[in-house]
Chains A and B, each alone.
Chain A
Amino acid sequence: MDIQRLVKKAKKGDKEALLELIMEQKDDYYKLAYTYTGNRDDALDAMEDMIVKLYEQIPRLKKPGSFYSWSKTILVNCCHSIHRKRKKLVFVEDWTDDAGISSQEVSPIETSVQHMHIHQLLSKLNPNQAEAIRLRYFQDLDYQSIANVTNTSLGTVKSRIFQGLNKLNQWYGGERND
């Protein structure tokens, strides 16, 4: 597949070319979105937001070769804004205390409850710490790569992950003691 040619077409407003570019790496995009959102619907919403933004902003993309890194940055931003919306809508009333988990969020299926827990716990964290942990554990990135992606220093990344995990352990312990 000729990425350069497709990017050129997309820049001129060819919607199918843009779609083709995304579908070429659809699994990567989806997993990245899922890493941040933790559920299927939000991941799909984030990707919808992303493709609209890509379509609007691609005329300003200078290097066609950097399409994938550029578009993934936009996807992460879309996930962040979805996360912010969800936090406003759900989190404030549902998350009653550090350890408690709202009964509304508890699904009858045990595994699902557990997965929701880990994402809910992550959302409760400082967003920077949560992002670092997500990238470290869900995307398997090393510290340096995380530092590059989040535009911080190696030390900050290590500290964020350490502090984040500490808090999670604390909360998780609390939950276990319930």
Chain B
Amino acid sequence: MTEIERRLREEKQRIDEQETPKELEDRLRSALTHTSNTKRRKPVMWKIIAAFFLAAILLSYNYPALAYYGKQILGFDEVVSGTLQDLNEAGKGQVIEESITLEKGVTFTVNGVITDENRLVLYYTFESEKGNAGDVSSYYQPAKLTGFLTNSHVQSGHGQVNSDGTELKGTFDFEPPSAFAKKLTLHFGGSEKTLEFHYDPFKALESRVVQDINQEVQVDSGRIKFESLTASPTQTVIKGTTNVKNLDQVMQPFGRISLWANGNKMDEMGRGVASSISGSTFELEFDALPQKLKSLNIKVDEFIGYEDLQAEVPLVEGTEVEVAGETVKVKQITVKEHQTEVTISTKESVTFDDVSLGNEPLSTTVGQSLKKKSNFIEKERTLVFETTTSAPSMFVGGMYYIKTYNEKVEITFE
């Protein structure tokens, strides 16, 4: 054992012999007494406190938005007003009155906004000292509104110039902004300048109602399904789907679908169709619903129809044939080097399907023209077949046309 080890063992013995001092307990107790509780926080408490503050900040900041969505959820969904002008006169919407000078002598003022589920309507004034308000306004067209979670493009607009051309007043429709946006920035097409204004969803948003319709109308070769109706103070939008193919075979197939409120036909404001492999979705826009709604229904007066004909149209110039109640005129037959051209005319809404001459299917249709007749529009076109074989008649497999359905869909309000 080395000297140092001997010393270490001695020290060990000395440590073992140490009596724990009597005052240990008192000293520990006094140390504890002087310890405050402030450092004793459980980590889980921190999380709860942090979560509480975060929730408080979010809730208070977005109270209007929450109140807005809360209303919908809780069903305060009465439809309150009429058209834009009514709303304006009733003092609804948010007054803004923010201006920007776009160039010397030209100012643009946002007078106010009204927002709802479907759109934001911006009331504006263009002023030009030179008296060319109409011209400068077309150069400085508003392009979009940006803000928190918001990128709303302009959709349409209109305005009216005063007699001396110094002022243009009107409205622009934008896609609706996010209910969480607090500030909106207006961007112009012809200028880098932007106009920022405070946006208060609480004032600008109006209640709306979304009503499930979920009713179908059977038509030839498919169905139209009306899925929902979104009524806001400025607009009524009906959304739906259809599995009918070849919607483009007639002009504006949804043009004869109307909305009736309290027995009155609503003005149609627009419509759109988007097609995909599985079918098409459509949106029909009408004016705002009346305040006191007693009845509401959709009428499908006419829609695209398909008639299976399997008919022969005799190819004699100047003949008129009746197929499925529609008149077909054979106007001219021309046999060229490699092809035969047959010029026919029908009602505008009629399109033939599965047409062939002899065994040769229709190659293309050219030279289509419309002629206004006394009570209908006549459509003339030339059917081209890649054959010179003469045939006594032309085979027509089927026909797309505007068919009268007169179907009615009642929308019940809960």
Binding site for B on A (CB under 8 A): 13, 15, 18-19, 22-23, 26-27, 30-31, 34-35, 38, 40, 44, 47-49, 51-52, 55-56, 59-60, 114-115, 117-119, 133, 137-138, 140, 165, 168-169, 172-173, 176
Choose one: B4, B28, B35; the contact of A165 (CB below 8 Å). B4
Choose one: B4, B5, B25; the contact of A19 (CB below 8 Å). B25
A165 touches B5 (CB 8 A): yes
Of B3, B8, B21, B35, most buried by chain A (CB within 10 Å of CB) is B8
A residues within 8 A CB of B3? Answer: 169, 172-173, 176
B338 within 8 A of A: no
B11 within 8 A of A: yes
Choose one: B11, B24, B31, B39; the contact of A138 (CB below 8 Å). B11
A residues within 8 A CB of B18? Answer: 30-31, 34, 40
Question: CB-CB contacts of B1-42 with A at 8 A, as 1s and 0s?
Answer: 011110111111011101011011101110111010101111
B residues within 8 A CB of A115? Answer: 10-11, 14
Choose one: A13, A55, A138; the contact of B15 (CB below 8 Å). A138
B residues within 8 A CB of A51? Answer: 28, 31-32
Which chain B residue lies CB-closest to A49? B31
A13 touches B40 (CB 8 A): yes
Choose one: A56, A60, A176; the contact of B35 (CB below 8 Å). A56
Tell me if B's interface is mostly helix, strand, loop or mixed.
helix
A residues within 8 A CB of B25? Answer: 19, 23, 26
CA A15 – CA B284 in complex, angstroms? 74
A15-B33, A35-B15, A169-B2 known; A137-B28 Cβ under 8 A:
no
Q: Can you list 24 contacts pairing A with B, beta carbon distance less than 8 Å? A: A15-B35, A23-B24, A23-B28, A26-B25, A30-B18, A31-B16, A31-B20, A35-B15, A38-B11, A40-B21, A48-B31, A49-B31, A51-B31, A52-B31, A55-B40, A56-B35, A56-B39, A117-B7, A137-B12, A138-B15, A140-B12, A165-B5, A172-B7, A173-B3
CA A116 – CA B108 in complex, angstroms? 89
A13-B40, A44-B24, A172-B4 known; A52-B35 Cβ under 8 A:
yes
* Extra 5 A-B pairs, beta carbons < 8 Å, given A15-B29, A40-B18, A60-B42: A30-B21, A31-B15, A35-B15, A44-B27, A138-B15
Interface size grouping (class) on chain B = 20 to 34
B residues within 8 A CB of A48? Answer: 27-28, 31
